[in-house]
Amino acid sequence: MGVLREPPLYVRNEVEANLLEALLRSEGIPGFVKVYQDPAYNGAWTFNDAYGQVECPREFHARVAALLSAIRGR
């Protein structure tokens, strides 16, 4: 049997990533944004759907998702 996982949380751009990381720090939530950029490609290759993915412990997933929704105004 597989391990149940929370759906991944994605950030759309650098501004969203920076705001979310600041909120994570201010609330004491361990986590970070793993950015989908590779300096070797010098911006020639990027993901269209997401700037990066949020990495956090499972127990904080719902709170991080709520913070991300708040940033997006939903």
Angle 15-26-69 (CA atoms, 0-180°, nearest 5)? 50
Q: What's the pLDDT score for residue 27? A: 96
Q: Which of 24, 5, 14 is nearest to 67 (CA)?
A: 24
DSSP for 2-53 reads PPP-PPPEEE-SHHHHHHHHHHHHHHT---EEEE---GGGTTSS--SS-SEE
Q: Which residue type does 73 have?
A: G
Q: Is 37 a residue whose pLDDT tops 80?
A: no
Q: In the chain, where are the structural domains located?
A: 9-67
Encode pLDDT of 41-54 as tens digits. 665 555 667 889 99
Question: Percent of the chain at pLDDT above 70?
Answer: 80
Encode pLDDT of 16-27 as tens digits. 999 999 999 999
